[in-house]
Chain A
Amino acid sequence: MLIPFFYMLREGGMKTSIIELLTLHEAMHHGLAGQSVDDFYFLARATLVKDEAHLDRFDRIFGAYFKGIDDSLSDLVQEIPQEWLQRQAELSLTEEERELIRSMGGFEELMKALQKRLDDQDERHEGGNKWIGTAGTSPFGAYGYNPEGVRMGQRGSRNRSAVKVWDKREYRNLDASVELGTRNIKVALRRLRKFAREGAADQLDLDDTIDKTARNAGMLDIRMVPERHNAIKVLLCLDIGGSMDDHVRVCEELFSAARSEFKHLEYFYFHNFIYENMWKDNRRRQTEKTSIFDITHKYASDYKLIFVGDATMSPYEIAYAGGSVEHWNEEPGAVWIKRLLKAYPKAIWINPEPKSRWHYTPSVKFVSELMQQRMFPLTITGLDEGIKALR
């Protein structure tokens, strides 16, 4: 019975392997999951999931599979917006209302109806008795009463009649595509380090020399190793102010992670888009500017160029001379970014706006084209892809 489940996990995008499936069977053979479905769920989770980022996904697939719903995989992609499920109100129902709910039909009917309503519904809903939301008598949603209801991820349990552990989705915020803290960013940035430990063997390896000399019965045997240093050089250009204010926290995190991760890190600020100057200190942005030409002359082309910005502005600010919101620029921003990209072939643009919102803003598309599509969202997966593009 587990084989379809296994394939469902793989279809759902989890990298579960045969070894893990066999381990699960072995564990069941030892009677570890004998007592209840909950036990089986815990066992399967410990065996098949190896990354907390996948716990939420696993919970959803497990829930879907063990309720006999095979066609809900598409829901995994189309997430239920969290606000729908947020707790808004408490509700106590009268006995008659409860009676009414009981008459609504069997469990399978409910699941089919859920499928249908998910397709129909496209806005948050509260109360009422049909749509998914909170505190209503619909069988789907949270904080309501329906003895056969399906709970959809909220904190705490109210009536307890519909709760299943995997439906609580307690690992909700650990999915890899949500925004990150410094530690996670550091981990992502560390991938840039891998190829940084190269170079000529120019240092004496004392341990190895002693080791080889001793093995050589005392005849000196010199061993050399390449120097272990992180040779990656990074030029970080951060958009500051204006629409970036919403993203200050996450950019701060990215910046502090990058600073501790790279020895050769140079950073500059810009506002909205790149023109002839950038600056290092925001308080003295009017007086102490660095010309783009000075930057390209000072830092060699082996620097990796990373822009961080939401690329949200009027397209004029990119395409036209004089488009800057701060000063009169003789040449359009697009020309300046092209100069930078020519000087630094390895370049990416990291955008803190969620990718799903990019297509609402024409300038994002424009910048992305200028960057030859090397624009990535500021999430773990986005950084990962970005780092790959930098190599």
Chain B
Amino acid sequence: MASHRFTGTSSYIATDDLTMAVNAAVTLERPILIKGEPGTGKTQLAIEVAAALGKPLYEWHIKSTTKAQQGLYDYDAVARLRDSQLGDDKVHDISNYIMHGKVWEAFESEEQPVLLIDEIDKADIEFPNDLLRELDRMEFYVYETRELICARHRPIIIITSNNEKELPDAFLRRCFFHYIKFPDEATMAKIVDVHFPNLKKDLLGAALKAFYKIRDVRGLKKKPSTSELLDWIKLLLAEDIPPEALHGENIRNAIPPLYGALLKNEQDVHLFEQLVFLDRRNNPQ
């Protein structure tokens, strides 16, 4: 049984199902795969889990060119070649040229760490397969020095994905899985509350209402997400906008101020303005 249970933190609201998935992964020491709409706090989760459980965090951010090997170690052959031509003594010990990757660092950690593998779907399609043994047995072999690196403490591995590539079955079988769905209005109120504790109740209510109405507008290419809502509220606070300015029976009758923070796509802004314009023309006040 894990020494702590994750229940969300003062700055992160975790739903019951997310808490359960994280605790299962922590208890059984298996990786957990987190998917969800962009901006729903997937990456943030790892940071918060590490903070809540008081464990060190290692972050491995994946790019399209990242190879699985780079997470384990890199052998710097060029440096060794140069050193050999310069007659440096270091050249005789190959381990001088082995650079530790994030996975290695996490495996060597003195206490159980949290390892974040961020946006695993960005890498090549074979990437997850190359990490199967490492994630399963928590060990890997360094060919250059002929040593086996085993994790001192099995890390809590949190993997995020934006679903750009499908992940292989063999990989998925070894993970717990959680899909962060878009928060409902009550959860959203809690989320905003932990970020802006002094927000006046009526402003929050009005802002959330306006936000969900914009999300409901049909045909938007990119719906605003949680992180955009938080930015928007920050702006509203900075501009000291009164809650009344956000009220309006219908979203089409009132453009919420500073809506540029919510709609990031030019076409969406255009669509939105057109809707408002049409509606005003049809229902002159």
Contact = CB atoms under 8 A, between A and B. Distances in A.
Contacts of B75: 211
Contacts of A43: 20-21, 24
A170 to B, nearest CB: 6
A190 B165 CA distance: 8
Contacts of B80: 214
Contacts of B27: 27, 30, 32
A218 B16 contact: no
B78 A46 contact: no
B112 interface: no
A341 interface: no
A30 B1 contact: yes
A198 interface: no
Classify the interface of chain A: helix, strand, loop or mixed.
helix
Interface in B120-171: 125, 162-166, 169
B226 interface: no
Interface residues of A, number: 39
A338 interface: no
Interface string B1-38: 10000000000000011001101110110101101000
A187 interface: yes
Given A30-B28, A31-B1, A187-B166, A170 B84 contact: no
Interface in A47-64: 47, 49-52, 55
Interface stretch (A14-22, A291-299, A342-350): A14-22
A39 B219 CA distance: 37
B165 A187 contact: yes
B181 to A, nearest CB: 6
Interface stretch (B55-63, B172-180, B228-236, B251-259): B172-180
Interface string A227-244: 000000000000000000
A47 B176 contact: yes
B84 to A, nearest CB: 6
Nearest to B167: A50
A42 B16 contact: yes
Contact of B16 (A31, A32, A38, A51): A38
Interface residues of B, number: 38
Contacts of B165: 187, 190
A23 B30 contact: yes
B21 A214 contact: no
A158 interface: no
A170 B179 CA distance: 11
A171 interface: yes
Contact of B20 (A46, A52, A55): A46
B20 A49 contact: no
A45 B17 contact: yes
B241 interface: no
Given A19-B174, A170-B181, A186-B164, A210 B24 contact: no
Nearest to A50: B172
B77 interface: yes
A26 interface: yes
B81 interface: yes
Nearest to A52: B179
A27 B177 contact: no
B20 A171 contact: no
A183 interface: yes
A194 B165 CA distance: 12
Contacts of A19: 173-174
A387 to B, nearest CB: 12
A130 interface: no
A217 B219 CA distance: 62
A183 B17 CA distance: 26
Given A32-B23, A32-B24, A46 B178 contact: yes
Interface of A: 15, 17, 19-20, 23, 26-27, 30-32, 38-39, 42-43, 45-47, 49-52, 55, 170-171, 174, 183-184, 186-187, 190, 194, 210-211, 213-215, 217-218, 249
16 contacts: A27-B24, A27-B27, A31-B1, A42-B16, A45-B21, A46-B21, A46-B32, A46-B178, A47-B24, A47-B176, A50-B169, A51-B177, A211-B75, A214-B77, A218-B85, A249-B219
Given A50-B169, A190-B165, 20 more contacts: A15-B169, A17-B169, A30-B27, A32-B20, A32-B23, A43-B21, A46-B21, A46-B25, A47-B24, A47-B176, A50-B177, A51-B172, A52-B163, A171-B181, A183-B162, A183-B164, A187-B163, A187-B165, A218-B81, A218-B84
Q: Which 4 A-B pairs have the closest CB atoms?
A: A46-B21, A42-B20, A214-B77, A50-B172
